[in-house]
Structure 1
Amino acid sequence: MDCPLLAAYEATGQLSEQALAELTDEEDSSEAGKRLYHCFRQRPNIAFARALLTTLSTRYVHGYTHGGPTTTQGLRLAGYLIGLHGDVRDALALWRTKQLTFDTACEFDIQMVAFAGIDPTIAYLQTLPDPDAAAAVDYLQQCQAAGDFDDLHAYFSPDNLPYWI
């Protein structure tokens, strides 16, 4: 499967500007996101997913604060790819992404923060001496009480992809 963004990263360690533009272009992002998801499932690369989230977060904040184009599509996809990897140490970065703006707070699903399971995620975040981690624990516990994680395993199932992929 053709995946220029992942292929360029694997070859150079850099994210291709052209492929990034395709992923963040609202008209093309859905098809590009699906291709990237399927490529990533075949060739998981957590360094790529983390670099993608960092780059897209920086671009999103810049666009948001300077009146440029913003979309959460790429952020959500990068977060989802990170969640597929399952390393609980990524939970705080995903929480911070969710907290970038009002839009990301609404559109970046809380399930992505708790991808490793709600109990392990809370336990890990409680070990961090960081006010963001404490805020995340608070919010996660509220969401847990509301039943938001009852079907967490299905959220990351290839049979049940989120609508935005």
Structure 2
Amino acid sequence: MDCPLLAAYEATGQLSEQALAELTDEDGTGAGLRLYHGYRQRPNVAFARALLAELSARYMHAYAHGGPATMEGLLLAGYLIGLHGDVGDALVLWRTKQLTFDTYCGFDIQLVAFAGIDPTMAYLQGLPDPDAAAAVAYLQQCKEAGDFDQLADYFSPDHLPYWI
């Protein structure tokens, strides 16, 4: 499936401005779904990490300046990172959840625990970082509430989230 954003990144190492605009545009173009399918065919975690960093910066700029700050791109980038399965990404995803009150409420906690709740908590407990400690405390509460009981389904191609 054609995915201009991923193709441009693979060719240049840069995120295409036009493809980023299409991805963050809410006109129903299906760019997020094309990106998801392209990424499934050609996983590239460096791309997903760069996408999350860029979209986080744009989100914060829009949020700070009263512009439209939507989370769908952040969620998609976090999801792509989660598909890669490197528990070392859990802290950056936690920090994405902490960007604003809106991201705190809307950035799914399942994105932080994509590698499984117990490995994620063990990894974060080993980090000498106050953000990691806060993440562990929150993850524990979510675990007790059953938020991770269907984690495999959350990342299943049969149950794609609405924002893809």
Query: For this structure pair, what is the TM-score category when the shorter chain's length is used for normalisation?
Result: over 0.9
Post-superposition Cα deviations, 1:19-62, rounded to whole Å, max 9, x if no partner, equal 0001111224x610000000000000000000000000001001
Q: Secondary structure at the match of 2:30?
A: helix
Q: What does 1:77-116 align with in structure 2 at a 5 Å threshold?
A: 77-116=76-115
Q: Secondary structure at the match of 1:103?
A: helix
Counting aligned pairs with the same residue, the percent is 80
State the Cα distance separating 1:68 from its structure 2 match: 1.9
Aligned: 1:26 with 2:63: no
| Counterpart-to-counterpart distance in 1, 2:142 and 2:42 | 32
| Counterpart-to-counterpart distance in 1, 2:135 and 2:26 | 29
* Structure 1: gaps of 5 or more residues: none
| Counterpart-to-counterpart distance in 1, 2:60 and 2:76 | 17
Q: Which runs of 4+ in 1 moved over 4 A?
A: none
| Counterpart-to-counterpart distance in 1, 2:64 and 2:27 | 22
TM score, norm. by length of structure 1: 0.97
Aligned: 1:124 with 2:123: yes
Q: Secondary structure at the match of 1:161?
A: coil
| Counterpart-to-counterpart distance in 2, 1:24 and 1:129 | 35
| Counterpart-to-counterpart distance in 2, 1:140 and 1:27 | 34
Structure 2 residue aligned with 1:138: 137
| Counterpart-to-counterpart distance in 1, 2:129 and 2:143 | 21
State the Cα distance separating 1:115 from its structure 2 match: 0.2
Structure 2 residue aligned with 1:70: 69
Aligned: 1:158 with 2:157: yes
1:21 maps to amino acid: A
TM score, norm. by length of structure 2: 0.98
| Counterpart-to-counterpart distance in 2, 1:145 and 1:50 | 29
| Counterpart-to-counterpart distance in 1, 2:137 and 2:43 | 31
2:138 maps to amino acid: Y
| Counterpart-to-counterpart distance in 2, 1:100 and 1:24 | 18
Preserved contact between residue 26 and residue 71 of structure 1 (Cα < 8 Å): no
State the Cα distance separating 1:106 from its structure 2 match: 1.4
| Counterpart-to-counterpart distance in 2, 1:140 and 1:14 | 34
State the Cα distance separating 1:69 from its structure 2 match: 2.0
Q: Secondary structure at the match of 1:77?
A: helix
| Counterpart-to-counterpart distance in 1, 2:92 and 2:156 | 22
